[in-house]
Amino acid sequence: MAQAVVTGATSGIGRAIALALQDAGHQVVALGRNATALADLAALGLQTRQIDLTDAAGMTRALADLTPDILVNNAGMMPPLGNFCDADPADMDQAINTNLRAVLTLTRAIAPGMRARGHGHIFFTGSTAGHAPFANLAVYCATKAAIAGFAQALRLDMAPHNVRVTEIVAGRVETGLYSALLPAETRAAMYAGNAAVQPEDVAAMLLAVLALPQSVDVARFDILPTYQGVATGTPKKEA
């Protein structure tokens, strides 16, 4: 039974991945900040730890006893939408600390053990925003572009040690990412008519990649709504 660590496991993509890994027979350690959501996962048989990933020292101490075979760097946040010139520096710092710095710190804490053991798989939840420009999302795009570059460089570092690395490039996924940024009716319109990938779809792809022979490493996979022909989206054709 492989041990898997999943960050941002209390909702959306992270929760779907954590549950899918458990269903596949893995021992899952779900990380997050929401105590109620973690309790729900614990009731389903997952191990849980309430951790603020931006607290580097606390995170390293809390995970010191783990030797995961699978790491899913999924936790992330989106700063308020708007022109970069009007961005609040505090929001910028929060996005960088959550989406990038915490990912680097957690990976640095776990990857050396995988290298020493000679096996493992590290996943990063990226975004099409890391590979194409989006207006009013400059800082978010920057953090996800950094993750994309890090994932591909890390893959080269880890390949000689039989550790695989995969970037998940997600298009529009129906999650709570915009819950604090957009009105409910706007979010409903975004996701209407099967116009978004479901978190369970991302989890299914992750399991498929994980199940490939050890000699195969999927460096990245893009998962988009069928109608989303390009990264920035295309209008959906009306019936």
Instruction: Tell me the pLDDT tens digit for each residue of 20-74.
Output: 999 999 999 999 999 999 999 999 999 999 999 999 988 888 898 999 999 999 9
Asked if residue 130 has pLDDT above 90, the reply is yes
Q: What is the average per-residue pLDDT within 181-205?
A: 72
Query: Residue 111: its pLDDT value, please?
Result: 97
Confidence (pLDDT) at 226:
83
39-58 in b/e form (b: 16+ CB < 10 A) is: eebeeeebbbeebebbebee
User: Helix axis angle, 12-23 relative to 199-210, nearest 10°?
Assistant: 40
Q: What is the mean pLDDT of residues 208-225?
A: 95
B/e letters for 164-186, b = 16+ CB within 10 Å, e = fewer, are bbbbbbbbbbbbebeeeeeeeee
Token pair in block for residue 33 = 């900040």
Q: Work out the average pLDDT over 202-213.
A: 97
Cα–Cα distances in angstroms (integers) from residue 221 to residues 39, 124, 202, 218, in the given order: 31, 11, 10, 7
In the structure, what pLDDT confidence band is assigned to residue 190 with cuts at 50, 70 and 90?
low
pLDDT level of residue 239 (50, 70, 90 thresholds): very low
pLDDT of residue 58: 87
- The per-residue pLDDT for 183 is 57
> Residue 11 above 50 pLDDT?
yes
| Domains of the chain by start residue, with CATH | 3-223 (3.40.50.720)
Say what the pLDDT of residue 235 is: 45
Structural tokens at position 195:
């116009």
Residue 197 confidence class, pLDDT cut points 50, 70, 90: confident
Averaged pLDDT for residues 1-26:
95
**In the prediction, which pLDDT does 228 show?**
59
Determine how β-strand 70-73 pairs with β-strand 47-50. unpaired
In the set 140, 178, 191, 227, the catalytic residue is 140
Q: Is 144 left (phi over 0), alpha (psi -120 to 50) or beta?
A: alpha
Strand ranges of the sheet holding 3-6, from the earlier edge strand across to the other edge: 47-50, 27-32, 3-6, 70-73, 120-125, 163-170, 220-223
Q: Which two tokens stand for residue 102?
A: 């915490």
What tokens does 170 get? 């997600």
Confidence of residue 146 (pLDDT cuts 50, 70, 90): very high
| 191 counts as catalytic | no
With H, G, I as helix, E, B as strand and everything else as coil, classify residue 46. coil
Mean of all residue pLDDT scores within the chain: 89
Can you tell me whether residue 49 is helix, strand or coil?
Answer: strand
**Secondary structure tally for the chain: helices H, strands E:** 8, 7
Per-residue pLDDT of 151-179, as tens digits, reads: 999 999 999 999 999 999 988 876 666 55
pLDDT of residue 194: 62
